[in-house]
Amino acid sequence: MLDRETIRSFMKVAEHANFSKAAEELHKTPAAISYRIKVLEDAVDTQLFIRTTRSVNLTEAGEHLLSQCQKWLDWMESMPDELRQIADGVERYINIVVNNLLFDEHAVSQLILALHEAFPFTQINISSAVYMGVWDDLLNNDYHFAIGVPGLDTIDNAVKLRPLGKMSWSFTLAPNHPLAARNMPLKESQLRHHPAINIEDSSQHINKRTAWLLRDQKEIKVPDLSTKVACHKNGAGIGFLPKNLAKPLIEEGLLIEKEVQWSRTPSPLSIGWRQDSTGEVTQWIIELFKNDDPIIQGFLKNIDQLTH
């Protein structure tokens, strides 16, 4: 019914509003084009054109069919390549989650470009998650691959890990903050009177964790790392930032670093993938990290203790 030639004939008649002009462009007779359209209308049991002695105009149903035709043609053109890709073990789609601590817009765009060029028929979905939300996406939300999984050891045998390294932390606050002039190390009794700026763990199925919060301390939750940094800079609150992220801001005088009574130990981070994610795309991404490829370097800039 909707073979390639029928779709092209229908689209040309709609484009020219004339059977003769459509036939001329398709190197067919007007009668052949008219017959093909009549067969199509009979098959769908719907009138697609209103015919007059001067023109041929689309009905509302015809307008809807026209809006879908180019999609069908594109689909029919690409289907042989898509089928070959599936036969070769290339995933139809890949879901990737990135820890918010490593999320970098440029790095994400570079990875998307490289994936699209290497696997043009694979649908790509990349999002970010916070803390145990990265694990949650791998285990419960149909994600195949994760960049920045907390920890070096898997919490579930369904997921394999490869270490990236450890992220060190700097305790930072604004130069005009009340604690800026206090002697170090700052004690908990001094810190708990000032709000802690945190990004809420995005996990929905695994117990959430809090990065840093003292007993009886006010917590201010923000949506992302850039907002947390802004709150540190304007004095809205205090807390830990990735050492590599904080360093240039400290050097510019936008933040100051303070020693605290209980420092935060470096956080180990890994790449992770589901055991059943054995497709070509997943393996290709794993190789990027194994080979320290330039494509993935932007994801590693906040990790100051890289695993080699």
CATH number at residue 26: 1.10.10.10
Q: Within this chain, do residues 281 and 145 fall inside the same structural domain, yes or no? A: yes
In this structure, is residue 281 part of a structural domain?
A: yes
Does residue 280 share a domain with residue 150? yes
pLDDT in tens, 11-46: 888 888 888 888 898 889 989 988 888 888 888 889
Same domain, 154 and 103: yes
With a cut of 90, say whether residue 183 has pLDDT above it. Answer: no
3-class DSSP assignment, residue 264: coil
For residues 222 and 78, membership in a common domain is answered with no
Whole domain around residue 178: which residue ranges? 169-257
* Residue 70 forms part of a structural domain: yes
Is the entire prediction scored with pTM above 0.85? no
Q: CA-to-CA distance for 234 and 173, rounded, in angstroms? A: 9
Is 283 inside any structural domain? yes
- Whether the pLDDT of residue 303 is over 70: the answer is yes
Secondary structure (3-state) at 197? strand
Instruction: Indicate whether 287 belongs to any domain.
Output: yes
- Residue 125's SS3 state is strand
Per the structure block, which two tokens stand in for 82? 């898509």
> Are residues 287 and 215 part of one domain?
no
* Backbone φ, ψ for residue 74 (5° rounding): -60, -40
- For residues 8 and 68, membership in a common domain is answered with yes
Per-range mean pLDDT, top range of 31-40, 76-85, 190-199: 190-199
In the sheet that 159-167 helps form, which strands lie side by side, from edge to edge?
Answer: 123-129, 93-99, 145-150, 267-274, 159-167, 305-306
DSSP letter, residue 101: T
Give me the chain's average pLDDT, please. 91
Alpha-carbon gap, residue 24 to 53, rounded angstroms: 18
Q: Which range has the top average pLDDT, 71-80, 180-189, 236-245?
A: 236-245
pLDDT at 106: 96
Residues 81 and 98 in one domain: no
Domain assignment of residue 187, yes or no: yes
Q: Across the strands, what pairs with 162?
A: 271
State residue 126's pLDDT score. 97
58 and 123 together in one domain: no
Residue 290 lies in a domain: yes
pLDDT beyond 80 at 235:
yes
Please determine, for residue 203, whether its predicted confidence score (pLDDT) is greater than 90.
yes
Domain count, the chain: 3
